Amino acid sequence: MNLGLTGEWKDFRDCHIKPDLVLIYRKPSDFEAFFYIILLYTSMTYIIVIMVILETPVFTRQITALISDDSYAELQQAIRLEPESGNIISGSGGLRKIRWKAEGRGKRGGIRVIYYWYVPGEQIYMLLAYAKNQQTDLSPEQKQVLKQLVEEEFSNGR
């Protein structure tokens, strides 16, 4: 099947039914988009799910300084599989915060990732990442700025 994308096919998980695959495609732009295409099937049914993860340039700088590429790949997988897993931040217009482990610190002392899940477009918008020892919660000003950013990004029904 030619999906018009280039990338690298990788085993998604071990299973007796093949193929269970995920295609990770990285397209450089103002935001980095990660396309996850999962082909899961039985002998009768085909299901294709596409989840796009967008990153702000600030987020990209922060996350690369905080955790390894492997740990970030695990975080992306966790959010992609359960986008509602992050706690909704009150007064933020739907922003979510998820705790993630950092090498040698675990989840409690690890990092916090702020993201927005745009349900209609199956898009995750990665906004901020910070270590818990740097900041515990977002300030009201940060909430307002991020809320505005999300509203501008998705105001056209992207």
Q: Is 89 contained in some domain?
A: yes
Regarding pTM above 0.85, the answer is no
Could you list the residue range(s) of the whole structural domain that residue 54 is in?
Answer: 8-154
- Answer yes or no: is pLDDT of 51 > 90: no
What kind and span of H or E run contains 51? strand 46-55
How many domains does the chain divide into? 1
- Answer yes or no: is pLDDT of 102 > 80: yes
Percent of the chain at pLDDT exceeding 90 = 41
Q: Is 64 contained in some domain?
A: yes
Q: Is 138 contained in some domain?
A: yes
Query: What's the Cα-to-Cα distance from 157 to each of 95, 123, 135, rounded to whole Å?
Result: 17, 12, 32
pLDDT for the residue numbered 79: 92
- Answer yes or no: is pLDDT of 89 > 90: yes
pLDDT for the residue numbered 48: 60
Q: Strand, helix or coil at 13?
A: coil
pLDDT for the residue numbered 103: 79
